[in-house]
Amino acid sequence: MQDPTYLILLALSDRPRHGYGILLEVSELSRGTIRLGPGTLYGALERLEEAGHVELDREEIEEGRPRRYYRLTRRGRRVLVEETERREALVGLAKQRLAHR
pLDDT of residue 39: 93
pTM of the model: 0.91
54 class by beta-carbon count within 10 Å (0-12 exposed, 13-18 middle, 19+ buried): buried
pLDDT of residue 63: 86
pLDDT of residue 100: 80
Residues 6+ apart with CB under 8 A from 63: none
Residues of the chain with pLDDT under 70: 101
pLDDT of residue 13: 97
Report the alpha-carbon distance of residue 92 to residue 69 in Å, rounded: 35
